Amino acid sequence: MLTISKPLSASQARTYHKEEFASRQQNYWSHDQRVFSEWQGRLGDQWNLNGPVHDEHFARLAEGQHPQTGEQLVRHQVSRTYEGKNGKEVISVEHRAGWDATFSAPKSVSITALVGGDDRIRMAHRESVRAALAELERYTQARIGNVHAPETTGKLAAATFEHDAARPVDGYAAPQLHTHAVVFNVTECDNGQTRALQPHEFFVSQRYVTAVYRSDLALRLEKLGYELERGKHGQPEIKGYTKEYLEASSPRREQIKDHLRAQGIDGAAAAQIAAHHTRDRKELISQEEVLRRHRELAAQHGNQADRVVAQARAHGQYQTREPEISAQRAVTWARDHVFERSAVIDRRAILESALARGMGETTYASTRQEFERRVRAGEFREVAHNGGGPHFTTTDMMRMEREIIARMQEGNRRSSNDPLLVSPQVRNSVRDRHPELSAAQRTAAEDLFLSRERIVGLDGVAGAGKTTVLSVIREGAETDGYRVEGFAPTSRAAQKLAEAGMGTSTLQKHLARSEQPDTGKKRLYVVDESSLASTRQLHEFVHRLQPNDRVLLVGDRRQHEAVEAGRPFAQLQDAGMLTVRLEEIVRQKDPELKRVVEQLARGQVHEAVESLDRQGRVHEISDHHRRIAAIAKEYAGSPERTLVVSPDNRSRIEINECIHAELQGRGIVQNVEHDFRTLVPRQDMTGADRTWAERYEVGDVLRYSRTSKETGIGRGEYAQVKAIDAAANRLKVELQDGTERTYDPRRQQGVTAYREELRTFSQGDRIQFTAPANDLKVANRELGSIESIGGDRRLHLKMDDGRSVQLDPNRQLHLDYGYAVTSHSSQGQTADRVLIHVDTELGATDLLNSRMAYVAVSRGAYDAQIFTNNVGRLGHALSRDVSHAPAIQQNPISQAIEQAAEQRPAHTNEICHGFGLGM
């Protein structure tokens, strides 16, 4: 895999070059301990840098100088110390020499090459690094000041050094074949000027370039006769090694994992930090001592490397069968995988997924050629995108977006002869019956009553009382002869919508039903939380509309968007959908907190964070465990009507467990504990993943929502994965009655995968359902409390709506603690106060964004408290924009929209219309 360091200063680069990169002590396995080094990159070729890396050339480039002449190519800045504005001592940044891009071979590959003594693998690794680094070079950019966008140059100069040992742990240097590629901080623009690098795209490219390296390496290893299997993280591993031997050969990896566990952090970035904090200076251990330790360890585990190498040499080359056909399958799978959750995707992400799917079956060249062929054929369409490499959408996604917009526009082309939603008499009658409405709510209801369009929107800020308005709309529509039905993308939102007095179900359930014949009767469909509806869902929904159907899309375009691709609610507004705005907040009872929510609704995240900080509502606790404990204590001090929001599942689980223990200590929750095996959804799996056997794990629990005659598995059944045949793409599962089935997952639709996890519950615990329990009429993410746990371990629950529910412990339990929830799960909830956890160093940076901040803070009616590791970085972390990009690019003037606007009747109340989209 590829990891890229933080920038190296000139002095660091010189030190590392002398003591590590070019040091003979870094290699124990080569006969003379010589470090293999070479130059790579188009810029290096231009400067005649060929063959081994010489000290003088390295030193000059580290200083930003021409390697041959010593001419200064980029401005050189010397570190200096001075007094800042606040009187504190400031140390300026020294010249950045470059970045260390390290390519590491998988563990079994390193052992085979080094312990097994197969030097052919070193050559394979070397060639794969060259291929991957050449691909990274495509994304080299020049820094063009602070105002102008960086220029993509595709030129770099890199010095590579091949090492074969990890840092020693207790005197043991594990075999670890890896290459340091020092990418120097200089590139050349099209006009011939030399500039410093803008490294952002290097970091964006890490996963993609890793996939290129792995794909190339897998092909070369198979040509050497090795049989491969896919590792836990998608890396090609050589078969023939026991788990015990691999772990014994990786003490450094275990050291890093121990540090991560102790600090309560995870993620690739965290692992790199842990690696830095735990590493010792490379000890000068003799080659004889290192080899002796490895021979002893290998002998203890049966000399597995020797057997693996002997078998490979005896077997000869594995043939890659039909790489072009495999490339076709890989690109098709990648398309289905990446475009399920995004309408616009970076070329790198598409190829990365295709390379991962086709690893060992096809080549990088075949995969790239197949993708480019489909681009020429029009299946993938390049779209404009700010920065980075080329971005693509699919013709299918563009078609769905166009058809949704066209359906809305057709309904907008109505004349004054077309009926209003309700008659003036009904409007006046309903209005008079609801004096409790605020002026804003009354205006919104009247604007909707006056609409003639078939598809209209109600966009209201969080806490504006949209459900109250919907109750009035429902009453008026029913009085005027409509049958009103409500839908929402989540079961909790559908349950909330039912408070408006209409029959509701999830949007998914509605779409799963067969289409009904047109009865000619008037129907009004209300879709709540429309920002959570995907393009595919809304496309299917509007496709089913009958001539007398009308639709009210309700939501808040500033809150979370769908997990799947598209943002149709916002896109329809931009395309001119008649949209009534509800901007007056009624939820927040604290004036200062209300102003913060208003700032967040306007996108003023930095200002909102500063306001919360001034109000004493932001708490900085740098230590992870102390921060979690502080949240638990704050919750336990006043648990009633308190909600905790944390962006990621890992920290959410930690907070829940800590609150559980804190409440036990205070006597609020009983100390007697009961262990239950619960099911946790594998949210990492897309629909494409579910067709690929290798994406499952032994022990996964599968739930089937569709009956399959081919497999004999019925709707609603559960099974556990017992075995995986990756080569044949088949799963062996055991049903609850003990019978077994073996099938190709491509032949079984409607499958949801779960992992079993242990949860310890006690009487008094807050719980939440993590899947709908239709037989109990409980929605997904519905909350309640445990009233008692019987001697038969039956759970007696009191749901928040007052209903009593009993759970049989022998059923599959979709249950979790209900103290802390993710931001997505919190949308639609209301609490008196909300406690929000924000770790600005969270590895999954996309979970920290402006939508998360807006949704989380707006849950609290009276109070919102943020607990963070770094107040200074809080505003930046919560300002990220993660809005979905549409397949159809926005165009401020659209002839189709203008024509629709000309035909639209005027309204007495001001209603907002958006700009159009290029069609």
Of 49-58, 137-146, 236-245, 465-474, minimum mean pLDDT range: 137-146
Within a 13 Å sphere around the CA of 367, how many CA atoms are in the beta-carbon half? Answer: 30
- Give residue 271's pLDDT band: very low, low, confident or very high (50, 70, 90): very low
Half-sphere exposure of 359 (CA within 13 A, CB side): 27
Name residues whose C-beta falls within 8 Å of residue 843's C-beta, 6 or more positions apart in sequence: 265, 266, 267, 268, 269, 270
Q: Which residues pair with 228 in a beta bridge?
A: 238
Q: Given pLDDT bands bounded at 50, 70 and 90, which one contains residue 918?
A: very low
Mean pLDDT to the nearest integer, 360-375: 94
pLDDT at 471: 96
Whether residue 866 is predicted with pLDDT greater than 60 in this model: the reply is yes
Q: What does the DSSP 8-state code read for residue 481?
A: T
Mean pLDDT of 171-183: 88
Q: What is the CATH number of domain 591-680+759-877?
A: 3.40.50.300
C-beta separation of 858 from 819 below 8 A: no
Report the pLDDT averaged over residues 59-84: 84
Question: Given pLDDT bands bounded at 50, 70 and 90, which one contains residue 76?
Answer: confident
* Integer Cα distance of 296 and 712 in angstroms: 52
The whole-number pLDDT of residue 431 equals 87
pLDDT at 616: 97
How does residue 919 score in pLDDT terms, banded at 50, 70 and 90?
Answer: very low
Q: How far is it, in rounded angstroms, from Cα 497 to Cα 457?
A: 16
- Least confident interval from 148-162, 305-319, 564-578: 305-319
Percent of the chain with pLDDT over 70: 89
Structure-model confidence comparison of residues 275 and 549, the more confident one: 549
With a CB cutoff of 8 Å and minimum separation 6, the contacts of 491 are 506, 772, 779, 780, 781, 782
Angle, nearest 10°, between helix axes 364-377 and 347-358? 130
Residue 375 exposed, middle or buried by CB count within 10 Å (0-12, 13-18, 19+): middle
- From the CB of residue 275, how many other CB atoms can be counted at a distance below 10 Å? 17
* Element containing residue 632 per DSSP (H, E): helix 624-637
pLDDT(889) > 70? yes
pLDDT of residue 174: 83
Amino acid at 395: T
pLDDT of 808 > 50? The answer is yes
Poorest-confidence range of 196-210, 806-820, 880-894? 880-894
Residue-wise pLDDT tens digits, 631-657: 999 999 999 999 999 999 999 999 999
For residue 868, what are the contacts with CB-CB under 8 A and spacing of at least 6? 618, 619, 620, 621, 627, 837, 838, 839, 840, 874
**DSSP letter, residue 18:** I
pLDDT over 50 (residue 903): no
Long-range contact pairs involving 771-780 (C-beta distance under 8 Å, separation at least 24): 771/679, 771/681, 771/814, 772/491, 773/805, 773/814, 776/805, 776/807, 777/803, 778/805, 779/491, 779/492, 779/494, 779/495, 780/490, 780/491, 780/492
- Furthest CA-CA distance within the chain: 97
* Fold matches, 398-586+890-903 and 681-755: no
What span, in angstroms and rounded, lies between the C-alpha atoms of 566 and 568? Answer: 6
pLDDT of residue 906: 36
Q: Provide the 10 A C-beta neighbour count for residue 23.
A: 17
Q: What is the pLDDT of residues 773-798, one digit of tens each?
A: 888 989 888 999 999 999 899 999 99
Residue 160, strand partner residues: 38, 181
d(CA 864, CA 608): 12
DSSP SS3 for 789: strand
Name the token pair of 177: 């074949």
* pLDDT at residue 893 greater than cutoff 50: no
The arithmetic mean of pLDDT across residues 29-54, rounded, is: 87
The architecture CATH gives domain 398-586+890-903? 3-Layer(aba) Sandwich (3.40)
Q: Residue 245: pLDDT above 60?
A: yes
DSSP assignment of 870-895 equals: -GGGHHHHTT---PPPPSSPB-S--H
Using CB atoms within 10 Å of the CB of residue 674, give its burial: 0 to 12 exposed, 13 to 18 middle, 19+ buried.
middle
Q: In this predicted model, which residue has the larger pLDDT, 317 or 588?
A: 588
The whole-angstrom separation of Cα 450 and Cα 433 is: 18
- Helix, strand, or coil (residue 731): strand
What is the amino acid identity at position 332? T
Higher-confidence position of 284 and 95? 95
Asked whether residue 602 carries a pLDDT value surpassing 70, the answer given is yes
Side chain identity at residue 248, one-letter code: A
- The structure tokens 């670890």 sit at 176
Predicted confidence (pLDDT) at residue 832 exceeds the cutoff of 60: yes
Burial pattern 487-512, b for ≥16 Cβ within 10 A else e, equals bbbbbbbbbbbbebbbebbbbbebbe
Q: What is the predicted pLDDT for the residue at 127?
A: 98
Give me the mean pLDDT over the 598-619 stretch. 97
Distance between CA atoms of 197 and 184, rounded to whole angstroms?
8
Look at residue 386 in the predicted model and tell me its pLDDT: 76
| Alpha-carbon span 166 to 174, nearest angstrom | 5
Joined tokens for residue 851: 């939508």
CA quadruple 269, 274, 276, 282: dihedral sign: negative
pLDDT at 25: 67
Q: In Å, what is the CA distance from 837 to each residue of 176, 865, 894?
A: 38, 9, 43
Convert the pLDDT of each residue in 410-466 to its tens digit: 988 877 788 999 999 999 999 899 999 999 999 999 999 999 999 999 999 999 999
Q: pLDDT tens for residues 388-418?
A: 789 999 999 999 999 999 999 998 887 778 8
Average pLDDT of the chain? 89
Question: Is residue 885 predicted with pLDDT exceeding 50?
Answer: yes
Per-residue pLDDT at 519: 86
Helices (H), 234-303: 243-248, 251-263, 268-278, 287-300
Could you tell me how many residues make up the chain?
A: 919
143 has pLDDT over 50: yes
What is the model's pTM?
Answer: 0.87
Q: Per residue in 684-712, pLDDT tens?
A: 999 999 999 999 999 999 999 999 988 89
Task: Note whether 289 and 328 are within 8 A (CB).
Answer: no
DSSP state of 20: I
Total Cβ atoms within 10 A of residue 808: 11
- Token pair 């009993």 is found at 806
- pLDDT-derived band at 898, boundaries 50, 70, 90: very low
Which token pair is 905? 């009747």
CB 834 within 8 A of CB 631: no
pLDDT for position 84: 61
Per-domain boundaries in the chain? 2-75+90-315, 323-389, 398-586+890-903, 591-680+759-877, 681-755
Q: Which fold has domain 681-755?
A: SH3 type barrels. (2.30.30)
By CB atoms closer than 10 A (0-12, 13-18, 19+), residue 905 is middle
Question: Residue 830: which residues within 8 A CB-CB, separation 6 or more?
Answer: 463, 587, 859, 861
Cβ-contact 755, 679 below 8 angstroms: yes
Unique residue bearing structure tokens 């063009």: 144
> In Å, how far are 132, 138, 389, 394 from 364, measured between CA atoms?
10, 15, 18, 22
Taking a C-beta distance cutoff of 8 angstroms, is the pair 588, 600 a contact?
no
8 Å CB contact between 706 and 752 = no
Residue 424: count other Cβ atoms within 10 Å of its Cβ. Answer: 10
| CA proximity to 55, closest of 27, 95, 102, 18 | 18
The phi-psi region of residue 225 (left if phi > 0; otherwise alpha if psi is between -120 and 50; otherwise beta) is: left
Q: Is 756 left (phi over 0), alpha (psi -120 to 50) or beta?
A: beta
What's the pLDDT band for 62 if we cut at 50, 70, 90? very high
Tell me the sheet residues that pair with 758. 677
Rounded-to-integer distance, Cα 188 and Cα 815, Å: 57
